[in-house]
């Protein structure tokens, strides 16, 4: 069965079970040019519909791990757990004064997103680009949705990219604070990157991300978090791009290896462990405590 046939059958099965809900097939181009197909399930009386992507379900079907009935049931279960319980107040998004506290930043790879970046306000940082989005909280839930800030939004709000940048950096000091996690405490829960070839036992390692651990690599632009880590290490340190969601921090020193050694590890893990849509960079960065600056080390 082709991907298109699978999508059509699953959409029909979900529709038959949910009755009055509207089912829409969405084709989306995600980070790094990755194309995904999903179902948007919109309940009657609700003006938003989160998308459930089907690629992993299709793989499970092709491999014989799950049949269509099971997959349709799981999609409905995901929808019921995550469906919006309130209408989204559109007026909140059109009023920049109400929107700006919810502005967040996301770092993406510039080269792999060249076409995408033509239509969105952004700022280049090394080989990366900072883009902006508005985080939409779901009342009574920890999860949040997001809306990418595009050129049209900036015109509607009558703001500049510089203002978006300033507000995003300000929010990093308040509502979008950094989260610094000791690698030793969470090693067992991390992907293969963190259990393999990184510096040996005894080398302190930390994960730098945000409170949600989602699109958290942007915290490498958080000056206060970077300064705090320099104090903790008592030395300059390397910043390894684990994914768009987090970076790994290790001190500069003989036990760590050179920046080029670490870059080889990053490249290997990007190839074997990181999802294509979550790839950030194969470079290694270094924070210089004396200058308070980050630069590409390898």
In Å, what is the CA distance from 53 to each residue of 11, 24, 210, 213? 12, 12, 24, 20
Nearest Cα to Cα of residue 257 among 237, 232, 233, 273: 237
Q: So what's the pLDDT on residue 1? A: 87
**pLDDT of amino acid 110:** 97
Residue 42, burial from CB neighbour count under 10 angstroms (0-12, 13-18, 19+): middle
pLDDT in tens, 1-14: 899 999 999 999 99
- For residue 185, the model assigns a pLDDT of 67
Could you give the strand order of the β-sheet that contains 35-42, starting from the edge strand earlier in sequence?
A: 22-29, 35-42, 51-53
Owner of token pair 């074997």: 272
- Nearest to 286, CA basis, from 242, 240, 247: 240
- Output the pLDDT for position 261: 93
Contacts with 220 (C-beta within 8 Å, 6 or more apart), sequence order: 107, 208, 226, 239, 247, 285, 294
Distance in Å from the first CA to the final CA of the chain: 45
Q: Rounded to 5 degrees, what angle do the CA atoms 131, 112, 133 make?
A: 15
Q: Is 155 helix (H, G, I), strand (E, B) or coil?
A: helix
- H/E stretch holding 139 reads none
Q: Which residues of the chain have pLDDT under 70?
A: 45-47, 84-90, 137-144, 185-202
Q: How many helices (H) and strands (E) does the chain have?
A: 10, 13
Torsion on CA atoms 170, 171, 173, 177, rounded to nearest 10: -160
d(CA 278, CA 36): 13
Angle at CA 23, nearest 5°, toward 18 and 29? 140
CA distance 220 to 249: 10
Q: Look up the pTM and report it.
A: 0.86
Give dist(CA 277, CA 25) in Å, integer. Answer: 20
> What long-range pairs does 209-214 form, CB within 8 A, spacing at least 24?
209/178, 209/179, 209/181, 209/245, 209/246, 209/247, 210/176, 210/177, 210/178, 210/179, 211/176, 211/177, 211/179, 212/144, 213/179, 213/245, 213/246, 214/245
């Amino acid at each position: 069965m082709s991907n298109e046939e699978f999508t059509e059958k699953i959409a029909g099965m979900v529709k038959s079970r949910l009755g009055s809900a509207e089912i829409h097939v969405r084709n989306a181009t995600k980070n790094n040019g990755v194309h995904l197909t999903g179902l948007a399930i919109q309940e009657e009386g609700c003006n938003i519909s989160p998308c459930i992507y089907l690629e992993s379900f299709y793989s499970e079907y092709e491999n014989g791990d799950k049949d269509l009935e099971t997959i349709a049931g799981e999609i409905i279960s995901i929808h019921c757990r995550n469906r919006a319980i309130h209408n989204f107040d559109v007026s909140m998004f059109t009023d920049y004064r109400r929107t700006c506290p919810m502005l967040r930043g996301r770092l993406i790879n510039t080269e792999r997103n060249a076409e995408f970046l033509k239509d969105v306000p952004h700022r280049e940082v090394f080989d990366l680009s900072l883009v902006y989005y508005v985080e939409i909280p779901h009342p009574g839930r920890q999860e949040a949705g997001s809306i990418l800030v595009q050129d049209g939004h900036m015109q509607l709000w009558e703001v500049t990219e510089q203002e978006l940048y300033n507000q995003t950096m300000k929010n990093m000091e308040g509502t979008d604070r950094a989260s610094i996690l000791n690698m030793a405490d969470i090693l067992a829960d991390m992907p293969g990157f963190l259990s393999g070839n990184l510096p040996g036992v005894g080398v302190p390692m930390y994960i730098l991300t945000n409170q949600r651990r989602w699109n958290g690599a942007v915290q490498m632009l958080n000056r206060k978090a970077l300064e705090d880590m320099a104090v903790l290490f008592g030395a300059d340190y390397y910043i390894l791009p684990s994914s768009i969601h987090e970076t790994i921090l290790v001190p500069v020193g003989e036990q760590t290896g050179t920046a080029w050694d670490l870059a080889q590890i990053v490249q290997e893990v990007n190839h074997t462990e990181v999802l294509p849509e979550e790839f950030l960079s194969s470079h290694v960065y270094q924070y210089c405590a004396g200058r308070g600056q980050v630069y590409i080390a390898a």
